Copies of this chain bind each other. A is one copy, B any other.
Amino acid sequence: MSFLSLDGRGLSLPLRKQGVRVVFGETDTSKRHSIPVDIKSYLEEKRNVVDRYLEAHLPDPQTPPAILHEAIRYSLLAGGKRIRPILTMATAEAIGPCPASLLPVACAFEFIHTYSLIHDDLPSMDNDDFRRGRPTNHKVYGDAIAILAGDGLHAMAFEWCSRADLVTDLDPQCQVQIIAELALGAGHAGMVGGQVLDIQAENRQVDLAELQQIHVHKTGKLIRAAVRVGALLAGAGMTQFEHLTGYAEDIGLAFQIADDVLNVTGTREELGKDAGTDDQRGKQTYPAIYGLEGAQRLAQDCAARAIGRLDGFDEKADPLRGIALYIVDRRN
């Protein structure tokens, strides 16, 4: 275990909440904001847990219709970061002992995320040819199968949250609440709504309030649901639930700002897809409004605020603190 240091250099974050400036990874001036967790190892370990669970429980690629299950696996097992399921797991662990049914529920968020990428990449949407360094789903399987692979993943998210052989030790009332969170985060009032706002905003001037509305919905609501579901899974109390919701909202925004920054600063190799595409498409972004440095600072402020929300949590919440920092400092 080393102190948090994402890539060798220290990460400086102004922690506004208590007016204290804390430097992570160098001199730590706060009792509570030292984060004795190697977040990269933590993320890799959890990613492996998710990947192994997926491999073991996804329908066999030979199951008819084979092309559907192949296409689903193609996008799902393409080396995603698994940030959403890891958030569910890390949130549950921040509270207490986790139920055995944590994993199928956590994976549901990856299904929703992956289906949204497949649909988003379609020619009639963003028309992207590459994703995670490989041709997009529709480039390999054609548009029709890609649409249906997305639809299959969408339904599978709810299947895995409700199947009696996968979810074995949850209180059914809690299970229903989890499903409602997932549906609301994914649907018209969440991610799908955000994608529509995003499409409507292309090629025209968008102010900050509108940009935030887009991102709160497009990325934020599903991340928020992933965290809240982790809290529900572990039986969080009302106050914990509220603080964790705040944490999720802050990292959701940080995540999107960092994404916009990466679209400017990242290389095609790092991103696994073309860089600079937002600008080409006339998309409004945080770097376009605040400049590159201003946007980076804003993302760091969000991460710091997120960490501040965890003041009442003990060291079991360190992975959540580490994730907040990781989100703004990642290179892909």
Which one of B148, B158, B176, B196 contacts A192 once the chains associate, using CB atoms below 8 Å?
B148
Specify the chain B residue showing the minimal Cβ separation from A166.
B180
Q: Given the known A-B contacts A151-B192, A192-B68, A196-B148, are A143 and B159 also in contact in the complex, defined by CB atoms under 8 Å?
A: no
Q: Specify which chain B residues have a CB less than 8 angstroms from the CB of A179 in the assembled complex.
A: 158, 161-162, 176, 179
Q: Which of A27-35, A182-190, A257-265, A268-276 touches B?
A: A182-190
A154-B187 Cα distance, complex, nearest whole Å = 8
- A184–B159 contact, CB under 8 A? yes
- A188–B147 contact, CB under 8 A? no
Q: Mark A163-198, 1 if CB is under 8 A from B, else 0.
A: 110010001110111011011101111101101110
A186-B147 Cα distance, complex, nearest whole Å = 14
A143-B155 Cα distance, complex, nearest whole Å = 21
A156-B171 Cα distance, complex, nearest whole Å = 23
> Distance in Å from the Cβ of A310 to the closest Cβ of chain B?
28
Restricting to A279-307, which residues have a CB under 8 Å from any CB of B?
none
Q: Which of A2-10, A59-67, A92-100, A234-242 touches B?
A: A59-67
- B180–A164 contact, CB under 8 A? yes
Which one of B119, B125, B155, B190 contacts A188 once the chains associate, using CB atoms below 8 Å?
B155
Does chain B have a CB within 8 A of A18? no
Q: Which of A122, A167, A196, A199 has the most CB of B within 10 A?
A: A196
Does chain B have a CB within 8 A of A37? no
- A147–B125 contact, CB under 8 A? yes
Q: Specify which chain B residues have a CB less than 8 angstroms from the CB of A171 in the assembled complex.
A: 172
- A152–B69 contact, CB under 8 A? no
- B119–A151 contact, CB under 8 A? yes
Does chain B have a CB within 8 A of A145? yes
> Distance in Å from the Cβ of A229 to the closest Cβ of chain B?
12
Q: Mark A56-82, 1 if CB is under 8 A from B, else 0.
A: 000100001101110010000000000
A115-B115 Cα distance, complex, nearest whole Å = 15
A171-B147 Cα distance, complex, nearest whole Å = 35
Q: Specify which chain B residues have a CB less than 8 angstroms from the CB of A142 in the assembled complex.
A: 124
A154-B67 Cα distance, complex, nearest whole Å = 22
Q: Specify which chain B residues have a CB less than 8 angstroms from the CB of A147 in the assembled complex.
A: 119, 122, 124-125, 147
Q: Specify which chain B residues have a CB less than 8 angstroms from the CB of A209 in the assembled complex.
A: none
Q: Which of A72, A119, A145, A180 has the most CB of B within 10 A?
A: A180
- B196–A145 contact, CB under 8 A? yes
Does chain B have a CB within 8 A of A200? yes
Which one of B148, B164, B180 contacts A162 once the chains associate, using CB atoms below 8 Å?
B180
Q: Given the known A-B contacts A124-B143, A148-B195, A200-B65, are A158 and B156 also in contact in the complex, defined by CB atoms under 8 Å?
A: no
Q: Specify which chain B residues have a CB less than 8 angstroms from the CB of A1 in the assembled complex.
A: none
- B145–A65 contact, CB under 8 A? no
- A145–B180 contact, CB under 8 A? no
A69-B147 Cα distance, complex, nearest whole Å = 21
- Pull 9 A–B residue pairs with CB atoms less than 8 Å apart, ordered by A: A67-B196, A68-B192, A115-B151, A124-B124, A125-B147, A158-B158, A159-B183, A172-B173, A172-B175
